[in-house]
Amino acid sequence: MTDRPLSGLRILVVEDEAMISMMIEDMLIDHGVTVVGPAGSVAQALAMLDEEEVDGALLDVNLGGEKSFPIADVLTEKGVRIVFTTGYGESGVGARYPNARTLQKPFRTADLESALAHFPGPRGSGGAPEG
């Protein structure tokens, strides 16, 4: 983390379960990340993306029955890196979004850090995208 600090990144958090989203928020804030959201639904998240620019996103795959893929599609189009969080395992996600990482719930802070490590630096700081 030292060679690519997360500090200053704007990361969208999409998670429909309040207690989990609060935990993720705290994890990110502890790393100096500016949390955008959290959003609990696709509509909420898309509305936020209309308003704000983000450097990356943590997306819960399943949002109370709906899939977060429409959000992922918009993010992919924008070239924003995605980390999916899911209770289902990786099925289906990896094939659809080959550049995205997936975190299985529950995850450790270290897992979150390493998943976010591939994000480019804060907008305009010139981090090279992977892929």
Q: Which residues here bind another protein, judged by CB under 8 A? A: 16-23, 26, 38, 40, 62, 64, 86-89, 104-107
Shortest CB 131 distance to another protein, Å: 28
Of 17 and 118, which CB lies nearer to another protein in the complex structure? 17
4-to-33, 97, 126, 128 alpha-carbon distances in Å = 13, 23, 12, 11
Of 15 and 55, which CB lies nearer to another protein in the complex structure? 15
Of 69 and 107, which CB lies nearer to another protein in the complex structure? 107
Q: Which residue has the tokens 């270290």?
A: 110
